[in-house]
Amino acid sequence: MVGRSAEFWWTRVPAFAGRITPALGIVLRDGAYIRAIPVLSAAAPPAAILIGFIFGWRHPLQSDLFTSSLLLMLLGLLIGCLSAAVGVWFVLGYSIGDLVLGPRGEAFLGPISNSWKTYVALILAGGIFAILVVLIPLTARFLAGEVYTRWFPDRARLLTIPTGAAGAALLVFAWSQSAIVLTRPYFSWHDLAPSPAEIDALHTAAWVLPLIAAAGVVARYLLEDQLRWRAPELAPLPEAARPRKAPAPVSLGWRVALSVFLLAGLMEYWIDPIVVAIVMVFLIVVREPALRRFEELLSPLMRLPVLPRLAAGAAISAILAIILISALGSVTAARPVVISTLVSLVVLSVLLPDHVLEKSGKAHDRGHGAAPPAATAPQPPTAAAPPTA
């Protein structure tokens, strides 16, 4: 029973997901080192779903959204640092429990039109929660590993651990500062202000969550070093089936709609989503031909690891946003955030052209060596290779 349960969660489910999208299959295998403990590997995913469901259903120590419960954010972040796969199941269980059975105040009930706004806002909040629990720990470990495996391969393991911990702490701090804005629709769509409990919890989370993230990433590296060599070897993920491409207008509309939805918390007036949609359409349509036009110029840039380019992009975006906000002025608190976000999208499109230019393979065929790790499947580097005899 234990063996079959572990095989289901760590082999069959990722294989099925990998046929849909390789990235999802990789995420659902993250943390497979715990298969060295069969009982834990069999019980962790269903236990995460159950515990998450109870938190979403009963809302212990929580008044509204998950952002009002420091305990829930701490638990989810720690789970995600140790295993992104188990973190996915925790967020899924919480989201289902919250959507189906979660307690609601009178402002969130009533006619169907009001209930639908509540459900859509909760789905958006679930995505913001997944960023904290799943995406941030994966991203921090990947960026740290990519820098040192390319620049200092002999000392990669020694340097990756503190860099990954610091990167996770910084990303979590940034998330804690933006979460109250990104989850605004839950309140603003019902003509409410964020609850005092949410504000207080996020203020405390701004210094507590980064510490937990750093500790969780370090614990992940150390546990993986001890356990991964005893874990049964996993078969390679199957190749993803080639999906039928949607018509260009449908694909474009879906990507723009998803972007606007995720940034809904930044919208103050009706003009804001229109402006964001126009910028997104421009980026999607113009980006690839524009980047290919300057492929020779951008090719040396792609030889740098992603982390320094990301840091440079954040600094450049902040400077440009300050200049634009000073020149254009702002009538609302949210407008500077909208402008900063749009500027960041443009700057990072230039500094991170990898997935566009590497389709042709030209960027790395001009004597620059092999493509960087960032071009491969987004599996974060973890432990070092086992010692050989």
pLDDT digits (tens, 9 = 90+) for 261-280: 888 877 777 777 888 888 88
CA distances to 181, 202, 209 from 74, rounded to whole Å, are 20, 11, 6
**Of 87, 220, 145, 118, the residue nearest 373 (C-alpha):** 145
In angstroms, rounded to a whole number, what is the distance separating the alpha carbons of residues 129 and 111?
A: 27
SS (H, E, C) 289-312: HHHHHCHHHHCCHHHCCHHHHHHH
CA distance 113 to 338: 27
Higher pLDDT, 30 or 147: 30
- C-alpha distance across the termini of the chain, in Å: 36
Domain ranges of the chain: 53-230, 248-374
pLDDT in tens, 22-74: 899 999 999 999 999 999 999 999 999 999 999 999 998 888 899 999 999 99
What's residue 364's pLDDT? Answer: 45
The answer to whether residues 281 and 259 touch, using CB atoms and an 8 Å cutoff, is no
The pLDDT of residue 156 is 59
Do 81 and 132 meet the contact criterion of CB atoms below 8 Å apart?
A: no
Quick one: which of 87, 254, 81 has its CA closest to 168? 81
Contact criterion met (CB below 8 Å) for 288 and 153: no
How far apart are the C-alpha atoms of 285 and 373, rounded to whole Å?
Answer: 26
Tally Cβ neighbours within 10 Å of residue 374.
20
pTM beyond 0.75: yes
Beta-carbon contacts of 256 under 8 Å, excluding residues fewer than 6 positions away, are: 277, 280, 281, 284
| Percent of all residues in the chain with a pLDDT value above 90, rounded to a whole number | 39
Q: Which own/partner contact pairs does 118-123 have at CB distance under 8 Å and 24+ positions apart?
A: 118/186, 118/189, 118/190, 120/185, 121/183, 121/185, 121/186, 121/189, 122/95, 122/98, 122/186, 123/95, 123/99
Q: Has residue 373 got a pLDDT over 60?
A: no
Q: What is the pLDDT of residues 232-252, one digit of tens each?
A: 888 888 776 665 666 777 878
Identify the pLDDT of residue 97.
Answer: 96
Sign of the Cα pseudo-torsion (217, 223, 229, 230, in order)? negative
**Hey, is 137 helix, strand or coil?**
helix
Percent pLDDT > 70 in the chain is: 84
Sole residue written with tokens 């910028």: 279
The DSSP annotation for 66-116 comes to GGG-HHHHHHHHHHHHH-HHHHHHHHHHHHHHHHHH----GGG-SSHHHHH
Query: Is pLDDT above 50 for 91?
Result: yes
205/74 Cα distance (integer angstroms): 8
- As a whole number of angstroms, the longest Cα–Cα distance in the chain is 70
| 91-98 average pLDDT score | 97
Task: Give the up-direction half-sphere exposure of residue 215: CA atoms within 13 A in the CB hemisphere.
Answer: 11
Res 287 pLDDT > 70 = yes
- Go through the chain and tell me how many residues it has: 389
